[in-house]
Structures are given as C-alpha cells and as structure tokens.
Structure 1
Amino acid sequence: MPRAVLWDMDGTVVDTEPYWMAAETTLIESFGGTWSHEQAMQLVGNGLEDSARLLQAAGVRMGVTEIVDHLTDEVRRMLTTRGVPFRPGAQEMLRALRAAQIPTALVTMSLRRMAVDIVALMDFTAFDLIVGGDEVERPKPFPDPYLQAARTLGVDIVDTVALEDSPTGVRSASASGAVTIGVPHIVALDGFGADVLWPSLAGRTVEDIASEFTAHRRAASLAPSTTGDLA
C-alpha cells in the first residue's frame, strides 16, 4: 500500500471546472471582452495567479489578487446555489481509503478557503490535510504542492500516489516523484507523464491503487531518479 494518496480537487474530486469557466467568461464580458471555450480550456489546472494574468491580457482591468478573489467568490456562490457536483467514484474511493487507514491530502490550486468549503460539505472526514494554492511558493506544474503535502504528512513522496485530471496537475505530480494516476475529465492527458490513465474512479478500489503503486514503484527502482523538479 502507498503511505498516502494525494488528490487534486477541481475536476478530480469535484466537477467545478464549468463553474470556473462561467465565472471567467462573465468577468471578461463585463470589461467588453470575449472568452472562447478554447481559451478557457487553457486555464484548466493552472494556478489562480497565472490564470489571472491571462485574464488581464484578455482585457480584465483588475489586479491579480482582485481577480483571484473575485473568481473564488463567484465559484463559491455557484457551489452554494447549484450544489457540489462530485466526480464519479471520488467519494467512494475516499471512504475506502479512510477504511484502509491510508492518509489522504487535498492538493489544489484553488484558494484554501474554497477547498475548506467543499470539504465541509462532505459527510465524513475525507482528508487529513489540505494544501491550497495560496499556501505554496510555486504552483502546479511545479512539484512544490505535492512535495509540501508529503512533507507535512511525514511521508516520502515516492511512497505516495497522486490522482490528477489536468495536464498541469499531472506534470506537477509526476515531477514530484509520486506515482501518478491520471483520470482525464475535460482535457486529454496522453503524453503528460502520468504513470497510468484511468477513464474514471467509478468502480475502482483501494486494491487497484495499491496494484498501480507496486507496479510503478518496481519499474522506477530500475530507472535513474528524476524526482524533485521540472527540467
């Protein structure tokens, strides 16, 4: 068994990407700009400050922090009024990991307050740790968020499994040294460094995670280490 399982949030635990896209579009249009689906897709998995700079380039005349706070508040409002759409199999897997006494961490580029709101809506203790995007020095695709989560949990990153749905997140998890399972949602993950791709978490078990961890750790033990940073 891995010593911990590290989870991305948006698109992996919950399907909030449509909320983010709607908030971005409304904000840009309020400044007279336009925002295509293709442009919105480029922001999936990015750190919020990086996304805010792209919105500035698209015509949003606000500061980076102001944009981040505005988008976060809008998405939180939509979560309150429309509900939290959990991804298939996510809550079931989290419950199974708790039953198996495997520590879990939520590693998200959303602000911590957003992550806390979502976790509070779950009717069981799903995570031992939350690492928010405003709590790391460098965002995904740098490995820092995952390395920080492992360090705080007191485990070696190579003894963990990470679950991700975006190219940016997969690159971050893979660069950290975690065994990385990609679960694509709205963006394809082929060629971004995941150790394995699963179509969904629905029907998956803790034993499936353990099997992937064992197989890829064994393979990694035969190869030179590339853990710790991006090239």
Structure 2
Amino acid sequence: MILPAAVLFDMDGTLIDSEPSWMAAEARLAAEFDIPWTADDAESLVGIDLWDGARAFIARGVPLEADAIVERLVGEVIADLGDTLPARPGALELLRQLREQGVPVALVTMSTRALVDRIEAAFAAALGTAPFDATVAGDECERGKPHPEPYLRGASLLGVDPADAVAIEDSFTGVASALAAGITTIGVPHAVDVSRVPGVIHWPTLAGRTPADLAAAIREARA
C-alpha cells in the first residue's frame, strides 16, 4: 500500500475540541471591556495567528498589549482543558494507525508552545507513544496562518516535499496556509464550514478514516 510521505495536523478544532474554550475566553475578554461580541466575531478568530487576534481585540478597544492578551487567552484555555484530552472523533484512531505504519506526522498550530506541549503529552499518554515527529507552534513562526510558513516549516522539519504530504484542517486560515504551501489539504468542518473552499477535499469527520484514505486524497488532488 502506498502511503502519504507525511501527515500534518492542525490542533484546535481538528485533533482536539478546544474551540469552545477559545471562544469562551475571547468572549470573557470582550465582556470585561464592554465590547459587543457576536458569533461572527468569534468565528472570525478561528484558526488565525494569536497575535493577529490580539491586534483585532486592541483595534476594538481592549487596552492591553498583544503579548498580554495572548498570554491571558492561552492561560484560560489551558485551565479550562485541565487534564482532559477532548479528542475529535477519529483523531486518536487515525494517529494510532499512522504511528503503527511509520508515517511521519507533524502538528502545525497557531497555539503557543505551552499549549502544544500539554496536548502532545496528553496524546502520548493516550497512545502509549510519541504522537508527532515534529511540532510547529504559533509563537515560533514569524508569519502565522494563512501564510504558508507554518506548513512549510512542518514539512521541512519532517524532511518531506510538501507536494507528497497531506494536511488536515478545520479553519479558513488553516486551509489557506496549507494550500499555499502546496500540500494536499483535507478540510474537516467544526466551528466553521470549510467544505466549499476551492481546492480543499471535504471530509465530514475523521471517524473511520485510515492512512489509505489519506493516500487516496493525494491521488484525488492530483487528478
């Protein structure tokens, strides 16, 4: 069986169901400074570089520095998640198969290293092995999603040609980043619906998916 050269996963909303925690933290920040906050406002921040999101809050009137906003939001999300691992449907099973079949895996997220390390440890405990060969955190990128830098960095760390890899994403900025990096991109909608983005292969869920399905996605993208 021909397998993809590598698989690069987004984290929030793709591997773990953390978007409710992010949205709640953002809503609390807006409420503290009497900023009207709607569902559209919440969706506009899904998947974006955290510092871009912080600057959006500053533009709306939050009198804090961008670093302080990011630190606050990340801290609240970590506290909200606690010791749980809210894995998305099929995520653990697909990761386990990829590890068993020796397919290189990277995590590419706009969350900070503090949250990445916590989630990586939780997946390692659940799988009984290291879940990722490489991780890319948002605070380690000069340009975050939707710029291709995060995914190009992930592919480079794995030593693979982006054209031979697959990315799995749930946000508009995430799929834009992966596509711009030249990676076959699978969109799995969660907080936002990425199913109609041109060039994205739509999967309603990861449940029941296998490494062979990922290889088929590359063939579909090249057809």
Instruction: Tell me the TM-score normalised to structure 2 length.
Output: 0.94
- The CA deviation at 1:98 is 0.4
What value does the CA root-mean-square deviation take over the aligned residues? 1.2
Count of aligned positions: 217
Q: Percent identity?
A: 49
What is the aligned partner in structure 2 of residue 177 from structure 1? Answer: 182
- The CA deviation at 1:113 is 1.2
- Give the Cα–Cα distance (whole angstroms) in 2 for the partners of residues 141 and 109 of structure 1: 10
What is the aligned partner in structure 2 of residue 105 from structure 1? Answer: 106
- Residue 152 (str. 1) matches residue 157 (str. 2): yes
Gaps of 5+ in 2: none
Q: Is the 8 A contact 1:88 1:202 kept in 2?
A: yes
- Residue 126 (str. 1) matches residue 131 (str. 2): yes
Partner of 2:82, secondary structure, is: helix
What is the aligned partner in structure 2 of residue 226 from structure 1? Answer: none
Which contiguous aligned blocks of 4+ residues in structure 1 show a shift greater than 4 angstroms? none
Residue type of the alignment partner of 1:105? A
What is the aligned partner in structure 2 of residue 18 from structure 1? Answer: 20
- Give the Cα–Cα distance (whole angstroms) in 2 for the partners of residues 30 and 195 of structure 1: 38
- Residue 143 (str. 1) matches residue 139 (str. 2): no
Residue number among 57, 66, 69 corresponding to 1:67 in the alignment = 69
Q: Is the 8 A contact 2:8 2:168 kept in 1?
A: yes
- The CA deviation at 1:191 is 3.8
Q: Is the 8 A contact 2:189 2:195 kept in 1?
A: no
Residue number among 208, 216, 219 corresponding to 1:214 in the alignment = 219
Structure with more relative contact order (C-alpha pairs < 8 Å, separation 6 or more): 2
Q: Is the 8 A contact 2:134 2:158 kept in 1?
A: yes
Q: Is the 8 A contact 1:171 1:193 kept in 2?
A: no
What is the aligned partner in structure 1 of residue 96 from structure 2? Answer: 95
- Give the Cα–Cα distance (whole angstroms) in 2 for the partners of residues 111 and 167 of structure 1: 19
**Per-residue Cα deviation, 1:14-49 (whole angstroms, up to 9, x for no partner):** 011110010011112112223112111110011000
Instruction: Tell me the TM-score normalised to structure 1 length.
Output: 0.90
Q: Is the 8 A contact 2:195 2:201 kept in 1?
A: no
- Give the Cα–Cα distance (whole angstroms) in 1 for the partners of residues 50 and 183 of structure 2: 23
- Give the Cα–Cα distance (whole angstroms) in 2 for the partners of residues 180 and 150 of structure 1: 13
Gaps of 5+ in 1: 220-231
Partner of 1:35, secondary structure, is: coil
What is the aligned partner in structure 1 of residue 85 from structure 2? Answer: 84
